[in-house]
Every structure is written in C-alpha cells, then in structure tokens.
Amino acid sequence: MRVSGRAVLGRAVSGEWRDVVTGAVLGAGHQAGEAMVPVLIGVVVDRAVARGSLTALLGWLVVLAAVYVGLSFSFRFGARAGERAAEQAGHRLRMDLVRRVLHPAGGAENGRLPGALATLATEDARRVGAVNTGLVFGISALMGLVVAAAVLLRTSLPLGLVVLLGTPAMTALGHLLSKPLEQRSETEQERAADASGVAADLVAGLRVLKGLGAVPAAVERYRRTSRDSLAATLRATRAQALQNGLVLALTGVFIAVIALVGGRLAAEGSISLGQLVSAVGLAMFLLGPLETLTWVNADLAQGRASARRIAEVLSAAPEITTAQPLPPATPVRGGLRLRGVGHGSLRGLDLDIAPGELLGVAVADPADATALIQCLARRQDPGTGAVELDGIPLTALDPAELRSLVLVAEHDADLFAGTLHDNVAAAADPSTDLAPITAAAGADEVAAALAQGYHTPVSERGRSLSGGQRQRMALARALAADREVLVLHDPTTAVDAVTEAAIADGLRTLRHGRTTVLITTSPALLAVADRVVLIEHGRVADTGPHLELIQRQSGYCAAVLA
C-alpha cells in the first residue's frame, strides 16, 4: 500500500486530535491573556494613575493578577497536552516503522543500513511527532495576533489595519523562507542516517574486518560518510539561521512601524496616553507570536521532510509474498507420522505430515531440531516412539529401500571431490533435466560466477567454495535426487536475503506434490510452506500459516525473528 508523506503527517495529527485540540484551546487562552496584559496596563494608566485613584489602582491590579494566574495555568497544561501529543505520535510512528521493518515479508531495508533505519525510527519519528507541538503553539500564536488586532482596531482603525494586513504577509513570507530549510533538512536527515548505518555496520563487522585487514578502508569510508553528513548538517543549519535572521529583522521592522503609527496618533490626540502604552506594549507582544510562527514554519518544514522519508519505508514493497496456492497435484505417497521420537523432550511429539505437503517446522530448541533430524535419518533409535512412512515404521524398511524413498539433507552436508556437475548429479536419474533444479537451488548462479561453470573442480568437502556456494550445491544435489520425502535442515543460512527468497519460491514450485519438510527458523522458507508447525519443549505448540503464527504466537516470533 502506497503511503504519502502527507498521509503520515495526517495520521500523526489525527491520532492525537484530543490533545492537540486541548493544547490549542489552552494555548489560545494563554496568548489571549498575554495580549490583554498591555491592554490592562493601559487601562490602569487611564483610569487609576491619571485620575490618582488608589481604589481603582488596587482593583485593576487584582484583575491583572487574575489574568496572570489564568494565563500561567493555561500555558502549563496546554504545553503538557502538546508535548504529550508529540511524544505519543512519535511513539506510534516508531511502532509502525518497527512493525514494517520486522515484517516477515521484508522489503523495508531496500538498500538501507540498520543504522539508517534506526535514525528513521528515532529522529525522523520525533520530528513528525513534533508537528503536533508546532500546531498547538501555532494556533496559540494566531489567537494572540487576533486578540491584539481586535484591540488595536477598537483603539484605532489605522493601527488595527497595519496588524491585520501585515501579519498574513509576515506569515506567508516565513513559509516561503522555510522552503530551502525543508529541502536541506531532508538531505541532512538522509546523510545522518547513512552515517549511522555505516557506523553500525562497521561496529558489527569489526572482527571480520580485522581478520581481512580491511579496517583502514572501512574507517576511511566512515570518515567520508561522516564528512558528507557534517556538510549537510551545516547547510541545513545555515538555512535555518538565515531564515530566522531574515524573519526576525522583518518582524522588528513591522513592530517599529506599529509603534511609529501609534506614536503619531497619540501626538495628534486621536488616542489617550494609556492607549498609546497599550499599543506599544502590544507591538512588543507581537514579537513573541511572530517568532513562534517562524519556529512553527521551520518545525513543519522539518516534519514534512521526515514524513516523506518515513512514508518511503512504510510503502516499501515486500520481498516475500504470501505463498499462493499451486494447482492440485496428482495424489502421491509420502505421508509421515511421528509419535514420541527421541530420548529427550521429543517423547511428547505428535505430528502428522500429509502426502505432498510442504511443511515448515520451527523448533525453539536447536537440540530438539538435531534430535529430530537424527531420528528421521535413522541415526538415533526412536526409543519407545515411532516414525512411520505411509503407515510403515521406518525400522521395518530395508535401508536401501528407505534411501530410495526418504532423503534427509542436513545443515552441514559436505560436497565431495569432483566437479560441480558431478556433485549435483550424484544421486539423480541420468535422464533428469538438471536445469530447473539448479535454478531452484540457486546453483546456476554459482556456476555462472566460476570460470569453468559446472566443470569447475571441487576440492574435498567443498573447501574451494564459499559457505553460500556449498549450501546451494548441496541443496541442488538433494533436489536432484527427487525422493518422495525430502527433509531439509536450515539449507539457506549462508546465503543473502534476496537469494534466500528466490530459493524459497523455487523450492515450493519444484517440490509441488512431493512431501517436503523444512526444519528451519528462516522466515523466507517458512513463508512459502503450506503449513508451519512450532515445536516447543518437544511438543507441537501451534500450527498454521507463517503470517498467522507471526501475528498470534509470541513463542514463534521469538524462534523465527530472534
């Protein structure tokens, strides 16, 4: 689902609308009270000081004190509501980002390093949440301007018009000046995220880098990224300083014009001394709301830039899609039944595997996974339990017959000396077309990367190949054997996420209609299974599709996403 930056901002505000409205109302009350303070001082001058009335002076001072108390409490609780709205919106965005990043379908990384995603979930989420605070203070500042303009209009039409006409122009100018800041702020966040990502990558792989002697190169890479981040931060800071300076200078000119007009009116006798005091006080008060609006514009600019970055992650297409049903296969043999296998906790295991089913088995305890593999491979006595194939105990089958029906490909399967082709075709029928098999296992990419292709010599135990290459060749050999029942134990632990996703899809297509058991904690492999079984403490704790288990089973999440 495509998410826009505007939608991210809208969700951040609408989700906390009660606190935003509460904060805006209380903030508006605070600003109205602030605007009334110079007005009341002018009244005191006209009605108490000018007339020499002590009683009137005390009375108006009590009113002024009451206004101060009201505006103080309004600010306190209004600011608290605004900050609460900002923090809660930022937290909700962080949770949305974490859910998207940890979603079993993947795709949120999209070339981003872990540190970059961490920056998105912290600084960018905070900036978007802070838009709520900006709205609270922006609405409050506008209320202060409205009250000041109303008082000035009532005092003098020219003064009121100067405020009413000048304030929108100042606000629009502030928004226009925030555009360069918005662009540079987005660049600043991107560079900072890159620097964080490279730093996290460097720390995580420090031991490997030391072993390869690549520490100087890695450090130089981080220095370049850090310098780029510093340059972007300085550009954004200069843009913000320029915006603040220009708006502050223009605001000062605006207030000076108001004071000048008020002074001339007082000299002409159009307004009283108290009204002049009020006008000058309101002119000085206006500096606060106008500065607040400048800050709000900058805050909104940064929030919009961060919202677009967050929207890109939330809109990222998944790398792994839910397994789609394949056409019905011809009924086959290969049903497995496990009852109390092993000597440990697996004695309580009760599991049926339907013929032709692609079953994912997530085992919380690695020791239980090893015991299960050994029992299926008949290297461990099942004890009082039993493993049956189509109703026949495995112990009743001739070893040669069992090998022709069931293949257990273990995690540490070795290659033998020979060529790549010899290893893949070792247990295959001579007439078997190996091309779709090697494509499904990703072995064709291994051959394509080597100068001699499938004729490349392989040393004993496959030591001449990398771990990922060995795994893919061993998987291709297991698939080429084409057994009725194939048990695979963690066949993709040494390959990258993209290759793993491609192998998962290839396995599902190639083994359609043949019983396949995937004993693994890989989300990519479990996502394509017809059914997934979670084994905890030797028993089936839950069963269902991968995505459903992720949503409802905390033990499954711990086993698969750890």
What pLDDT, on the 0 to 100 scale, is given for residue 285?
77
Is residue 327 domain-resident?
A: no
Region 57-70 average pLDDT? 84
**Same domain, residue pair 359 and 485:** yes
Tell me the pTM.
Answer: 0.53
Phi-psi region of 516 (alpha: psi -120 to 50; beta: other; left: phi over 0): beta
C-alpha 332 chain-centroid distance = 44
Q: Do 415 and 458 touch, CB atoms closer than 8 A?
A: yes
Range of the structural domain that residue 13 is part of: 5-314
Residue 466 tokens, joined: 């990398």
Is residue 331 domain-resident?
A: no
Is residue 328 domain-resident?
A: no
Region 71-89 average pLDDT? 90
Whole-number Å distance between alpha carbons of 348 and 339: 8
Q: What is the mean pLDDT of the chain?
A: 80
- For residue 381, pLDDT over 60 is answered with no
**Same domain, residue pair 179 and 296:** yes
- For residue 254, pLDDT over 80 is answered with no
Edge-to-edge strand ranges of the sheet holding 358-363:
406-409, 485-489, 515-519, 358-363, 531-536, 539-544
386-441 pLDDT tens trace = 788 878 887 777 778 878 888 888 887 778 888 888 888 887 888 888 899 999 99
Tell me the pLDDT band of 248, cut-offs 50, 70 and 90. Answer: confident
Tell me the pLDDT band of 532, cut-offs 50, 70 and 90. Answer: very high
**Same domain, residue pair 341 and 379:** yes
Tell me the pLDDT band of 9, cut-offs 50, 70 and 90. Answer: confident
**Same domain, residue pair 264 and 340:** no
**Same domain, residue pair 248 and 374:** no
Q: Which of 316, 307, 259 is nearest to 102 (CA)?
A: 316
Which is it for strands 406-409 and 485-489: parallel, antiparallel or unpaired? parallel
Query: How many separate domains does the chain show?
Result: 2
CATH code for position 466: 3.40.50.300
Tell me the pLDDT band of 531, cut-offs 50, 70 and 90. Answer: very high
Whole-number Å distance between alpha carbons of 23 and 4: 27
What pLDDT, on the 0 to 100 scale, is given for residue 475?
92
- For residue 186, pLDDT over 70 is answered with no
**Same domain, residue pair 278 and 393:** no
- For residue 364, pLDDT over 60 is answered with yes
What pLDDT, on the 0 to 100 scale, is given for residue 166?
73
For tokens 């420090």, the residue is 206
What pLDDT, on the 0 to 100 scale, is given for residue 360?
93
Contacts for 446 with CB less than 8 Å, ≥ 6 apart: 420, 465, 469, 472, 473
Q: Do 338 and 349 touch, CB atoms closer than 8 A?
A: yes
**Same domain, residue pair 43 and 144:** yes
Tell me the pLDDT band of 325, cut-offs 50, 70 and 90. Answer: low
Is residue 12 domain-resident?
A: yes
What pLDDT, on the 0 to 100 scale, is given for residue 60?
78
Region 455-473 average pLDDT? 85
The contacts found for 424-428 with CB under 8 angstroms, 24 or more apart, are 424/454, 424/473, 424/476, 424/477, 424/480, 425/480, 426/477, 426/480, 427/477, 427/480, 427/481, 428/480, 428/481, 428/482
What pLDDT, on the 0 to 100 scale, is given for residue 552?
83
Which is it for strands 485-489 and 515-519: parallel, antiparallel or unpaired? parallel
More confident: 465 or 166: 465
- For residue 291, pLDDT over 70 is answered with yes
For every residue of 23-45, DSSP letters joined together read: HHHHHHHHHHHHHHHHHHHHHHI
What pLDDT, on the 0 to 100 scale, is given for residue 57?
77
Cα Rg, the chain, nearest whole Å = 36
Is residue 322 domain-resident?
A: no
**Same domain, residue pair 134 and 164:** yes
What pLDDT, on the 0 to 100 scale, is given for residue 396?
79
299-321 pLDDT tens trace = 888 888 888 888 888 888 776 65
More confident: 246 or 351: 351
Last residue of a domain, one of 314, 344, 366: 314
Tell me the residue length of the chain: 562
Is residue 323 domain-resident?
A: no
Whole-number Å distance between alpha carbons of 511 and 407: 13
More confident: 177 or 100: 100
The residues pairing with 258 across neighbouring beta strands, listed in sequence order, are none
**Same domain, residue pair 205 and 289:** yes
Whole-number Å distance between alpha carbons of 364 and 560: 8
Percent of the chain with pLDDT over 90: 12
- For residue 498, pLDDT over 70 is answered with yes
User: DSSP assignment, residue 466?
Assistant: -
Whole-number Å distance between alpha carbons of 375 and 363: 15
Last residue of a domain, one of 252, 279, 314: 314
- For residue 181, pLDDT over 60 is answered with no
More confident: 15 or 198: 15
What pLDDT, on the 0 to 100 scale, is given for residue 206?
61
Whole-number Å distance between alpha carbons of 99 and 28: 37
**Same domain, residue pair 183 and 308:** yes
Is residue 321 domain-resident?
A: no
Q: Do 278 and 148 touch, CB atoms closer than 8 A?
A: no
For every residue of 486-536, DSSP letters joined together read: EEEESTTTTS-HHHHHHHHHHHHHHTTTSEEEEE---HHHHHTSSEEEEEE
Tell me the pLDDT band of 358, cut-offs 50, 70 and 90. Answer: very high
Phi-psi region of 329 (alpha: psi -120 to 50; beta: other; left: phi over 0): beta
Region 328-337 average pLDDT? 66
Last residue of a domain, one of 259, 283, 314: 314
**Same domain, residue pair 287 and 394:** no
| SS3 category, 256 | helix
Tell me the pLDDT band of 460, cut-offs 50, 70 and 90. Answer: confident
Contacts for 58 with CB less than 8 Å, ≥ 6 apart: none
Is residue 320 domain-resident?
A: no
CATH code for position 25: 1.20.1560.10
Residue 200 CB neighbours (<10 A): 17
**Same domain, residue pair 439 and 472:** yes
More confident: 33 or 209: 33
